[in-house]
Structure 1
Amino acid sequence: MTTLADHTHIDDGLARHNARVLATAQAFGGANSTIVIAASSLAAHYLLGSDKSLATVPVTTFVFGVALATIPVQLLSRRIGRKPTFLIGALFGICAGLISARAVFVGSFELLCLGTAFSGVYNGFAQAYRFAAADSASDAFRPKAISWVLVGGVVAAVLGPQVVIYTRDLFAPIAFAGAFVGQSVIGAVALLILTFFREPPRPVTTSKTGGRPLIQIVSQSRFIVAVLCGITSYALMSFVMTAAPLAMVACNHSADVAALGIQWHVIAMFGPSFFTGSLINRFGVERVIGLGLVLLAGCSIVALSGVDVAHFWIALVLLGVGWNFGFVGATTMVTATYRLDERNKVQAANDFLVFGFQAVASFTSGAMLARFGWDTINWSVFPFVVVALATLIWLHFARSDAA
């Protein structure tokens, strides 16, 4: 089958330039996510009355925003190009912070949810950065291009929580309003960076209909396994991470400790991207995904061992590294299932499924934490890891039999 790499526009020089630009944009755009994760649940906690079970709803609306943006971003990219699409996304990021700040000033939980939904839409646009970096890359460079973009998340991991810590009382006694204003500022910086993105040449396709029917592409066993592993990695990461700050506060740890825990988690999410692409090239994408799934299980094992700061932070680090291996691997696997003229619809389908299930996981997390506790959150991880690992093993043996 002719795949993404089988086209006439392979230009690793352009791919490297765009990967660097998008990695830098990810550094600031990704901080949008970490601010929402570190601040929105705690801000909601103060805005809500006696029923705190809705405290994770702003994170859930953020994830729903991501899911809702996945299809429009690919449609826009196909119609007007990647660069204008990404600039539109950055405008959502600027507006998101201003809406959330206004929500905290007026004490509106509903407006806060709207602001985090806008943040999610922005993140949905930013999720396409990894595919944009791969568009003009060769087979050998594609996993690295995807990894390079995610490296920007290392800066985001530090920047976002530090914005929360140093600006949350900027408008005291209104807590967290300053953090959301800071979110708008870094969104503006990301918009400026994206102006340096170079649009890849439009592909010369052999089809006027966008390639094969989508149902034919998504019916491939490799696509199914890739999406299932992507869903598992992202949904479980969101499920545990969303509950973690609230669980830390409930265990008498401070809000700053919770924010720093998220910081180390996000560093662990994106730090391995310096070498994940090389690991995939050396050991194969299935092995890297499998290792990521095992680390996700390891996160829950540590979390079930105690509730000291060390237990939370080590668990969150394992959760981040596991997500990185699983998600980068699954993304790389997906790029091998479609042709160039099919990329937008397949990327949209992949991201809609991944982030749709992530939204469900995030929504479920808050209710489960409030009703059943932190231990139940972590016990719930194991069945999904086992199923995803089983599909990887099945794919391996199915390919061996076919060979």
Structure 2
Amino acid sequence: MTSTSAILSTAPIVGGILLVENKSMATLPLALQFVAMALTTIPASIYMGRVGRRIGFITGAVIGASGGILGAYSIASGNFLLFCVASLLTGCFNGFCHYFRFAASDVATKEFRSKAISYVLAGSVVAAFLGPTLARNTADVLPAQFAGVYLSLVAVYVSVAVVVSFIRIPRPLAEQRRSSGRNLSQIARQPKFIIAVCAATFGYLVMSFLMTVTPIAMGNCGFTFSHSSYVIQAHVLGMYVPAFITGHLIMRFGVNNILIVGALLCGASILIHLSGISFLNFLSGLVLVGVGWNFLFTGGTTLLTETYTAAEKAKVQGLNDFFIWGTISVGAFMSGAVQQSIGWNAVNLVMAPLVIIVLVGTVWLRFNARKSTRKPSSV
């Protein structure tokens, strides 16, 4: 997360600097990072299913460090194409590192699983602020502006590899590596799987779409960059601060109830955005969708862990994350154009059906779960 937030702060600017003539492609490196992340998810999961989480994370860190070195070199040499390749490599690292939440669930007891996933997300609170701070403090340390940012990321990736090398994460048993369990089509037909994937994917898409277009919408409404940056900062806090308690809430009230609340919060965010264009509308709406995302993403991940066996987890987790990051990649390409073409209110209306799908699906799942556990009455 530290490297991601640092890259988010600098990649579009670097792209604009390297593209002297055609600035329209300035965001291509950032988009390629999301594409690489999506394409890496399934291979990374299968790879870790064979060699173990620790070796997998170290491999991802090595790839990321290579991207950092290449990124610094491409900036220093003014080579946009190489910078795009560097973005692909750092995106591959992200494809690996997003499995930290599953690694936490692997070693946690069933009762503690939701807390473990939640605590991993909670660490992003620090990372979300550390990344931009790192970028600001290293942007001008080398003659080529921003080259220092990418060299500093090498240190981040190496630190990840060093820390992970000391963590004891059980390797897959030989029996698990030999057995693949049920086929994916059979697993994917489970209602729990469908709801888990929809909750995490749609929740992430709604959140990222609204977050991405909010600065544009606020600018169109006459607000300054300072206003929008404050809203985004509050939104990030809304995303990650609840992670300290989301796991506890899931244990206390059940994963389905937390998913329902998450969907309702996202729905409330949309209604607030549609009700006006004041600063408070933007601020409160984006904070609510941040909290809603946290509930949906943590809850969806927790629910997913109930849909597979140990032998099946690599392919199921890979498929789940491919759905999530593949969808986010498409959203990253489309968000700005959609906002400019149909406007802020229409963007919110387009997101509403996704929230409704998650809400209705989870309510149905909750109802059927209660129905199936109800004991038949004796005659």
Q: TM-score range by the shorter chain?
A: 0.7 to 0.9
Counterpart in 2 of 1:224?
A: 194
Match of 1:127 among 98, 122, 130: 98
Give 2:212's aligned residue.
242
Task: Describe how 1:145-184 pairs up with structure 2 within 5 A.
Answer: 145-171=116-142, 175-184=145-154
Aligned to 2:352: 382
Residues 245-302 of structure 1, C-alpha deviation per residue, up to 9 Å, x if partnerless?
A: 5556675634x77666544433332221111111001111111112222223344445
2:185 equivalent among 199, 212, 215: 215
Cα–Cα, structure 1 residues 46 and 315, in superposed 2: closer, same or farther, change >3 Å? Answer: farther
Letter in 1 for 2:168: R
Aligned letter for 2:57?
A: F
What secondary structure does 1:306 align onto?
coil
1:92 equivalent to 2:68? Answer no
Distance 1:99 1:317, change over 3 A: farther
Residue 398 (structure 1) aligned with residue 368 (structure 2): yes
Q: 1:181 to 1:379 in 2, by over 3 A?
A: farther
| Cα contact 2:71–2:82 (8 A) shared by 1 | yes
| Residues 1:285 and 2:255 aligned together | yes
Query: For 1:247 and 1:96, how far apart are their aligned partners in 2?
Result: 33
Q: Distance in 2 between matches of 1:153 and 1:287?
A: 24
* Residue of structure 1 aligned with 2:266, choices 296, 301, 304: 296
Q: CA deviation at 1:355?
A: 1.3
Separation in structure 2 between the aligned mates of residue 314 and residue 103 of structure 1, nearest angstrom: 40
Could you tell me how far apart the structure 1 residues matched to 2:22 and 2:287 are?
30
For residue 229 of structure 1, report the CA deviation from its aligned partner.
1.0
Q: Is the 8 A contact 2:204 2:293 kept in 1?
A: yes
Q: Residues 123 and 179 from structure 1, CA distance in 2 versus in 1: closer, same or farther, beyond 3 angstroms? A: same
Aligned partner letter, 2:46: L
Give the drift of 1:176.
Answer: 3.8
Q: Counterparts of 2:369 and 2:338 in 1: how far apart (Å)?
A: 39
Q: Letter of the aligned partner of 1:292 in structure 2?
A: G
Which of 366, 370, 373 lines up with 2:336 in the alignment? Answer: 366
Cα distance in 2, alignment partners of residues 176 and 206 from structure 1: 45
What code does the residue aligned with 1:76 have? Answer: Y
Q: What corresponds to 1:40 in structure 2?
A: 11
- Encode CA deviations 1:207-263: one digit per residue, 9 max, x unaligned: 943212221111111111111111101222222333345556675634x77666544
- Which amino acid is 1:265 matched to? H
Aligned to 1:329: 299
Provide the C-alpha distance between the structure 1 equivalents of 2:132 and 2:282, rounded to a whole number of angstroms. Answer: 16
1:195 has 2:165 as partner: yes
- C-alpha change, 1:366 and 1:215, in structure 2 (3 Å) is same
8 Å CA contact 2:49–2:172 kept in 1: the answer is: no
Amino acid at match of 2:293: W
Worse-superposed segment, 189-198 or 55-64: 55-64
Match runs of 1:243-282 below 5 Å:
243-244=213-214, 253-254=224-225, 262-282=232-252
Q: 1:42–1:246: 8 Å Cα contact kept in structure 2?
A: no
Q: 1:183 to 1:247 in 2, by over 3 A?
A: farther
- Compute the TM-score of the two structures, normalised by the length of structure 2: 0.86
- Evaluate the alpha carbon distance shift between residue 157 and residue 93 of structure 1 in structure 2; reply closer, same or farther with a 3 A threshold: same
Q: Comparing 174-183 with 122-131, which one deviates more in the overlay?
A: 174-183
Aligned-partner SS, 2:121: helix
**Quick one: structure 1 residues 387 and 54, their matched pair in 2 at CA, closer, same or farther if it must change by over 3 Å?**
farther
Query: Residue type of the partner of 1:133?
Result: A
Structure 1 residues 384 and 225 mapped into 2: Cα distance closer, same or farther (>3 Å)?
same
Q: What is the distance in 2 between the residues matched to 1:54 and 1:259? A: 23
Decide whether aligned partners of structure 1 residues 340 and 39 sit closer, same or farther in structure 2, where only a CA change above 3 A counts: same
Tell me which of 99, 112, 119 is aligned to 1:141. 112
The answer on whether the counterparts of 1:41 and 1:246 sit within 8 Å (CA) in structure 2 is: no
Structure of larger gyration radius: 2
Percent of pairs identical after alignment? 36
> TM-score of the superposition, structure 1-length normalised?
0.81
> What SS is found at the alignment partner of 2:362?
helix
| Structure 1 gap ranges (5+) | 1-29
Pairs aligned (count) = 371
Inter-partner Cα distance in structure 2 for 1:239 and 1:383: 14
Indicate how the Cα distance of structure 1 residues 373 and 107 shifts in structure 2: closer, same or farther if over 3 A, else same. farther
Residue 57 of structure 1 is matched in structure 2 by 28
- Does the C-alpha gap of structure 1 residues 224 and 332 become closer, same or farther in structure 2, counting only changes over 3 Å? same
CA RMSD of superposed structures (Å): 2.9
Task: Quote the offset at 1:36 in angstroms.
Answer: 2.4
